[in-house]
Structure 1
Amino acid sequence: MKDALVFDDVRFDHGDSEMRFDLAVKSGEWLAVIGPSGAGKSTLLDLAAGFAAPSAGHITIAGRPMAGVAPAERPLSIVFQDNNLFPQLDVFRNVALGIAPDLRLTAADRRRVEGALAEVGLAGFGKRRPSEMSGGERQRVALARVFLRDRQLLLLDEPFAALGPALRREMLAILTQLRAARTQPPAIVMVTHHPEDAVGHADRTAFLEAGAIVAIGPTRTLLSGRADPRVARYLGTLPPERST
C-alpha cells in the first residue's frame, strides 16, 4: 500500500530563511507534529493541502504527485482551530457539504448525514446554527463532515487548541472512535501545542525546529525526553543551554 503522504526534499522560502521537509506518513498512521512557534508546523500542513507551494522538491498523496493540483482537488480533508463552519447554514447542511457542495441530497445522502451526526453524539442537532453551539459541539460538527467525506488523509491544524483539557481529551476520544470505525482509516497528521494530546493516540510524533523535522519516532519514546535533547528542552525536562 502506498504511503498516505510523502515530502521528498521539499523546500519552502520563508522570508530570509528556507524550510526543508522530508517525511513519509504511512496509510492509516496517526502522526503528531510538535515544536515551538514558528518552527514550520502549520507550513507543513499548508504545503500538503496546497495552500502554499514548495520552491523545490516533491509532495505525493497516496502515490499521486501534487504538483499543480488545486487544494479542492487533493484527496484530503483538513480541520482548523476555527472549525470552518458556515454560520448561515444549520448543522445538517454544514455536514452535508462534505458530500454535496451544492447541497442537492438524495434520500441516501440524508441518511448518511444523519448517521455522521449520530456518530459524533449530535443526533437531533441538525437544525441548530453554529452560533447556538459550544466550541466542543462545533468541532464535533467539523469532524462529522470530514469523516463523511472519507478521504485518505486528514490534516488537523490545532483544532482543539481553544478547548480545555477535559474537552480536548473528549474530542480526541471521538476522533479515535471515528477512525477505528472505518474499514480503511485515514492517515492523520495532527499539529498540536499540547504534546500530551499525542500520547495514547499518535503512532509517531515529529518534532520540528527552525523549519525542519529534526526528530521523529514512536510517540512515547520521543516524548520521554530521553531520545533527543532538543525535544527534552522543548518539553522542559532539560535545562536550557548556557552561553559561554
Structure 2
Amino acid sequence: MLTIDRLEFSYPGATTAFHFDLTIAAGEIVGLTGPSGSGKSTLFDLIAGFLTPNSGTISLDDRSILPLPPERRPVSILFQTDNLFEHLSAGTNVALGLGNAIRADDPRVADALDAMELPGLASRRAANLSGGQKQRVALARTLLRNRPILLLDEPFNGLDDATAQPIRRDIARLVVERGWHAILVSHQAEEIATMCARVYAIENGKARLVTEAGSNH
C-alpha cells in the first residue's frame, strides 16, 4: 500500500499550504483531478522527492520513502512529452531505465520493447519515432525499471484515441501484473473513468475522494 498521510507542503512566501491524504493499493490506478495550479504537480514532486514536505509521511508498505533521494525512490514517471532523449536510440533510452547497469543490446532491452509491441526498433533514433511509439518506448523503460510507484502525468495528451487506447490497456495490464501503485493525472473525464479504481479531486489545496465507481481492469 502506498500511503500519503497528513502530508503538508507550502512554497516559500505562500500564505496557503497543500494538504494530501490518499492511499493507493498494489495493482491499482487512482485518478487525480483538479484545475491547473491546484497541486497535482506538487504532489507528484513530493512523491518523487523533488520537493520536501513540511510535515506528514509518504510510505510504501509501512516504510517511509521520504529519507530517500530522488534517484533512489521506488518511482517511475511517465509524462505527456519529453520522456526520451531524442538524439539516442530507442534501445539506449530503454536501457537508461537501469542507469549504467546495462547496454542497449542487452536482451532485457529487446524483451521490454517486444512486450510493448516494438520489435526491431531498438536502433531507431527516438527523434524518428511517432508519438505513440515514443510513449511505448518510455513504457518499455518503465517496465524494465519495474519500480512499484508509477506516476502518470497526462501521458496520453497529444495522441489520438486509436493510438492512446492500446497504450492505456497496456498500462492497466502492467499495473495489475506487476503490482504497481499508480496515480493518473488527466483532464479527460472518460480516461479517468475507464482506467481508475478511485478518483481524488484537489480542491482548495486538499485531496478529496470523490468516487470509487471506476475500474482499472
Could you tell me the TM-score, scaled by structure 1's length? 0.81
Distance 1:192 1:219, change over 3 A: farther
Aligned residue for 1:9?
Answer: 6
- Secondary structure at 1:59's aligned position in 2? strand
Structure 2: distance between partners of 1:88 and 1:173: 29
Residues 32 and 190 of structure 1 are in contact (CA less than 8 Å); yes or no, is this contact kept in structure 2?
A: yes
Structure 1: distance between partners of 2:104 and 2:127: 27
- Secondary structure at 1:44's aligned position in 2? helix
The 4+ residue runs of structure 1 with deviation greater than 4 A are none
Shift of 1:103: 5.3
Percent identity of paired positions between Structure 1 and Structure 2: 37
Structure 2: distance between partners of 1:106 and 1:208: 40
Corresponding letter in the other structure for 1:13: S
- Secondary structure at 1:97's aligned position in 2? helix
Shift of 1:83: 4.1
Aligned residue for 1:114?
Answer: 110
Structure with higher RCO (Cα < 8 A, 6+ apart) = 2
Aligned residue for 1:137?
Answer: 133
Structure 2: distance between partners of 1:32 and 1:114: 31
Aligned residue for 1:193?
Answer: 187
Aligned residue for 1:102?
Answer: 100
Deviations 1:150-200 (A, max 9, x none): 1111111111122233322232122123334x3x42111111111211223
Structure 2: distance between partners of 1:71 and 1:126: 28
Q: Which has the larger radius of gyration?
A: 1
Alpha-carbon RMSD: 2.0
Residues 26 and 187 of structure 1 are in contact (CA less than 8 Å); yes or no, is this contact kept in structure 2?
A: yes
Residues 135 and 163 of structure 1 are in contact (CA less than 8 Å); yes or no, is this contact kept in structure 2?
A: yes
1:139-154 equivalence runs, <5 A: 139-154=135-150
Distance 1:162 1:62, change over 3 A: farther
Deviations 1:185-225 (A, max 9, x none): 2111111111211223211111111211123331449xxxx
Structure 2: distance between partners of 1:58 and 1:33: 19
Aligned residue for 1:174?
Answer: 170
Structure 2: distance between partners of 1:151 and 1:120: 17
Task: For structure 1, list consecutive stretches of 5 or more residues without a partner in the other structure.
Answer: 222-244
Residues 89 and 129 of structure 1 are in contact (CA less than 8 Å); yes or no, is this contact kept in structure 2?
A: yes
Aligned residues: 213
Aligned residue for 2:78?
Answer: 79
Between 199-208 and 41-50, report the one with greater CA deviation: 199-208
Residues 205 and 218 of structure 1 are in contact (CA less than 8 Å); yes or no, is this contact kept in structure 2?
A: yes
Residues 10 and 59 of structure 1 are in contact (CA less than 8 Å); yes or no, is this contact kept in structure 2?
A: yes
